[in-house]
Amino acid sequence: MQTTFIVHVEDQPGVLTRVTSLIRRRGFNIESLTVGRTERPGVSRMTIVMDVDAIAVVRIEAHLYKLVNVISVENVTPVPAVYRDLAMIKVAATEASRGPIIQLVQVFRARVVDISPDSLIIESTGAGEKIDSLVEMLKPYGVLELARTGRVAMSRGAGTAAAAAAAAYAVRTAIDDEIPLDSGISCSV
């Protein structure tokens, strides 16, 4: 089943490599990965989409929590959530085809963001299936270039992944402050 994780991590060099390597080492394929800043300084948000079974979901979540820079992990697949993809599509456009292409873009609630004498750049956001359908409809005109982001997701309602991440980060920071570096405690991952 397709599973979407939202992972909050410390914004440090090498964190993305550690997360993706952990998933790769366990033999799982990442279908989509997006990373960006959050509303909190020093914290990045990863949205990871994988096609895994229920047992693997639990294992992946547990392994992610073992990474030092991971603040929180949330599987948003079973909860109400909003998912979006973004695509920019450059399409060949002659003077004769420009009108039909623009009409098609309007049907898909996309928008034209750039016009040149021989092409249009179209921006589309929404479900991945919607973007796939738009691209298929534009192929007869000549898709010159396509750039897509991965899926981004946000759980619906007042309970947010950010709130869970903030609470987990506060606990982790409090624990780190209480344990001196020379306490004799060793950890391995």
Burial of 60 (0-12, 13-18, 19+ CB in 10 A): buried
Look at phi and psi of residue 63 and say left if phi exceeds 0, alpha if psi is from -120 to 50, else beta: alpha
52 pLDDT band, cuts 50/70/90, is very high
Mean pLDDT (whole number) for 55-78: 92
- Return all residues near 21 (Cβ < 8 A) that are at least 6 apart: none
Residue 150 has pLDDT above 80, yes or no: yes
pLDDT tens sequence across 82-100: 999 999 999 999 999 999 9
Residue 108 has pLDDT above 50, yes or no: yes
Predicted model pTM: 0.73
Mean pLDDT (whole number) for 140-156: 93
The CA distance from 140 to 175, in Å, is: 59
- Smallest CA-to-CA distance from 47 within 78, 94, 85 is with 85
Mean pLDDT (whole number) for 160-179: 48
pLDDT value of residue 64: 94
| CA angle, 115 then 126 then 96, to 5° | 30
CB 160 within 8 A of CB 80: no
pLDDT value of residue 39: 92
Residue 160 has pLDDT above 60, yes or no: no
pLDDT value of residue 167: 45
Mean pLDDT (whole number) for 26-39: 92
pLDDT value of residue 85: 92
Percent of the chain whose predicted confidence (pLDDT) is above 70 = 84
Q: Which domains occur in the chain, in start order?
A: 2-79 (3.30.70.260), 82-148 (3.30.70.1150)
CA atoms within 13 A on the CB side of 159: 6
